[in-house]
Structure 1
Amino acid sequence: HRFLDPLSHPHRVPNQRRMATENHSTVTEFILGGLTSRPELQLPLFLLFLGIYSITVLGNLGMITLIWLSAQLHTPMYYFLSNLSLVDLCYSSVTTPKMLVNFVSEKNTISYTGCMCQLYLFIVFVVAECYMLTVMAYDRYVAICRPLFYNTVMSHQVCSLLVVTVYAMGLIGSTIETGMMLKVPYCEPLISHYFCDIVPLMKLSCSNTYDVETTTFFLAGFNIVVTGLMVLISYAFILSSILHISTTEGRSKAFSTCSSHLMAVGMFYGTTAFMYLKPSTASSLAQENVASVLRNKEVKAAMQKTLRGKLN
């Protein structure tokens, strides 16, 4: 066997659990449950997500290339947009290609090392997206509410520092959480999810995961609550300034742009909070699958709408 399954060897469970508590796992390979177990849905889902992923890759690469080649777009706003596109591209590429392969393959497996690498990169870009959305909201706040100081406040050095901070927060958060997951012993190989995520992995542990759950809760809470509050405060000031715009057309256009961004922010933070800011037994993994897919599809759609509005 490529992995040891305690369920298929009942007489070996006590020994395996004792071994697992000695800081190493009995599982060397995981099986990904995927989105559905119905064979007739595999090909339609493959084609659906292949189309979504292709559009995502082309859209984000196109956005990055356009901003890089167009001198008139070398401004803080578009600098952040290009980085958001990069984060979104990497975020999608961490999980989607493997999911597509699993739709058309008979054995949906991933090695232990591959699973932990996927988890690490996934957390990096999820956390980075939280902070990138916050930086974008702050940029719009300065542009709308403090226009006379915009060039000074959002200087090239400041923008570069903000982007470095965004990626640093992702790396720090992911290193802490993935480091803890590496210490968890796993006695079951079947992940009831379509990629390696913290909550589904914790359900496979044969030891107490209270420390991991607590750390995940507080780190996710910090990232979601702090960045979410900063976005809301920024937009409270932005909306207040918009209400003082004298022309109806100007207010309408500004509200349209803000509503698209806020919808993206709301969907991203809402689904992320649903998945991580709750006890691990509060809902089924099927609900978490849905939340994860919604976050991927709806956030991208809303952000694409926002980006089109800004480029027009």
Structure 2
Amino acid sequence: MQESLLHRRIDLHTHSTCSDGMLTPTELLTKAKEQNIEVFSLTDHDTLTGLQEAQTAADKLGIKLVPGVELSVQWSGIPLHMVVLGFDKENDVLTSIVEKNQETRLERAKRIAQLLVKQGLPDLYEKAVLEAGPSQIGRPHFARVMVREGLVKDENKAFDQYLGNKRLGKLRDVWPTLEEVVPDLAKTSCDLVMAHPKRYPLTLTKLRRLMTLFSELGGNAMEVSSGNENPQSVRLLETISRDLGLSVSVGSDFHGPYGPWCEVGKFTSIQEASLNPLWHKWL
């Protein structure tokens, strides 16, 4: 009998300072050790730069590290996130996609700055670049600058008033499509996971359509639980994964220690016995 998640601590979705997280890879692995995590993945947005540091820390702490990255993609103009797990260092297909997405992030940041100016704010591009430092620049860096400059009360207000998808709709078309990246990646030695499917603005019909296409293109897993997910949503995603024969993944989507649910290894429980857990291969 395969060992249950109840006996093995798993987290296959986390972020460090190499993208938009608050802890370095080493600090993140130390936190994982404190939470008794046994199988862990660092999945920073569109970058692989933290993996070597994470591997060194994991080796010292006795944690199984699964190489990971969270790629920005789109479907029918809707921005999505796809977690790629368990790839080889020599995966040239993945490296090429990551490099293109990094270039896109810089161009996207310039567009964000321009759209914020149109909303009446000053040009924050250079300050956001400085805020990001070695990290992959994104909307959270603009939000932090806006708070520091006194333009908004907090980061939530920054997103509500200026940085949300409805405010920055023109950014929806910048990422590669699923059709462009999934088939080629599926031919390499890695697992392709649709991240937190219930967070996208999709009806149930469109969600099923998305996951059916994802499976047909070569995607093989769904993240059925991510952080403080509504249990009903988790049950729905479990059903879709079973219907499509997809493996399941789980993760905290940890970015930083702010809030009662924001902890490494913490996410809504799943009905593991009826599913095909992706992590069993790494136990």
Taking structure 2 as the reference length, the TM-score comes to 0.30
Larger Rg: 1 or 2?
1
Q: Which has the higher helix share?
A: 1
Q: Which has the higher strand share?
A: 2
